[in-house]
């Protein structure tokens, strides 16, 4: 099991959680923490609202949607977790006794599952990897806080067009082409609207030659005009 985990980790460059931790230290850490690798099929729940948090998760393959469902049927997509990223960490040092959101596999997903006890139980040797992974966790949490602050800024847009423009400007792109990691329904939830409303607005923006949509890609045609919206 440990060798399989090491092989999976070796295929992923620059994992922030393991930054500045040697291969030998990683092996000791996996054994000490009783880390396991798990596979989840498309649309299956890695954890659900109301369950007791017990693990930190690292995505080895695939992507995970983190969302909040309401009794009304509305779903709020909080963020997407991609390969090499962690999730569930915000409960690690909090007093919350249960998850308040769901983590759902988008396609087949492989994750590392690290028990929380590992982060709390420092051995008498005060292992360097223990100190380093805790520091890395704090850096990751700071980045997540920044991401959530950006989403609050995005949702402050008074119109759907403003929110779409803000979102597009913040996405990584190649030659002004944004590749979507969410489907239309999920993107609508993330932007705080409905799928029909999102589709109508995207169509209007395309007709006005602001953008060009093609399946899971959006090409930015007039960046200056989009930036002028907010």
pLDDT at 13: 56
Q: Which residue has the tokens 């954890």?
A: 47
For the chain of 230 residues, list the mean pLDDT of each consecutive stretch of 10.
62 77 83 90 96 93 92 83 90 78 96 86 62 83 79 79 90 86 89 93 96 93 87
pLDDT in tens, 59-86: 999 999 999 888 778 888 888 999 999 9
Taking the model in full, what pTM does it have?
A: 0.69
Q: State whether residue 103 is helix, strand or coil.
A: strand
Residue-level pLDDT at 105: 97
Q: Helix (H) and strand (E) counts for the chain?
A: 8, 9
- pLDDT confidence of residue 210: 96
Parallel/antiparallel/unpaired status of strands 75-81 and 102-115: unpaired
Q: What is the pLDDT of residues 152-189, one digit of tens each?
A: 777 777 899 999 998 998 887 788 999 988 889 989 98
Q: How far apart are CA 131 and CA 52, in angstroms?
A: 26
Domains of the chain: 2-154 (2.60.120.10), 157-227 (1.10.10.10)
pLDDT at 132: 82
CA–CA gap between residue 196 and residue 184 (Å, rounded)? 9
Q: Whole-angstrom Cα distance, residue 218 to residue 184?
A: 12
Q: Is the dihedral of CA 84, 11, 186, 218 positive or negative?
A: positive
Nearest CA to 201 out of 167, 228, 153 is that of: 167
Predicted pLDDT at 117:
80
* CB contact at 8 A, 220 and 175: no
Q: Look at residue 137 in the predicted model and tell me its pLDDT.
A: 84
Q: How far apart are alpha carbons 113 and 103 in whole angstroms?
A: 13
Q: What is the pLDDT of residue 154?
A: 74
């Amino acid at each position: 099991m440990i060798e399989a985990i090491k092989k999976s980790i070796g295929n992923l460059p620059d994992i922030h959680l393991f930054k500045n931790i040697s291969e030998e230290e990683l092996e000791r850490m996996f054994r000490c923490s009783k880390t396991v690798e798990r596979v989840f099929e498309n649309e299956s729940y890695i954890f659900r609202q109301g369950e007791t948090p017990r693990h930190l998760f690292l995505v080895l393959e695939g992507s995970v949607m983190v969302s909040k469902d309401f009794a009304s049927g509305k779903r709020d997509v909080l963020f997407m977790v991609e390969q090499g990223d962690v999730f569930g960490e915000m409960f690690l040092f909090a007093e919350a006794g249960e998850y308040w959101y769901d983590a759902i596999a988008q396609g087949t997903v492989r994750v590392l599952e690290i028990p929380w006890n590992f982060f709390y139980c420092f051995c008498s040797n005060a292992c360097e990897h223990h100190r380093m992974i805790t520091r890395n966790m704090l850096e990751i949490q700071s980045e997540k806080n920044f991401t959530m602050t950006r989403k609050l800024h995005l949702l402050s847009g008074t119109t759907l067009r403003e929110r779409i423009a803000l979102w597009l400007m913040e996405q990584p792109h190649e030659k002004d082409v944004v590749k979507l990691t969410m489907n239309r329904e999920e993107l609508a939830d993330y932007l705080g609207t409905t799928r029909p409303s999102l589709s109508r607005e995207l169509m209007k923006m395309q007709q006005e030659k602001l953008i060009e949509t093609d399946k899971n890609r959006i090409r930015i045609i007039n960046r200056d005009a989009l930036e002028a919206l907010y």
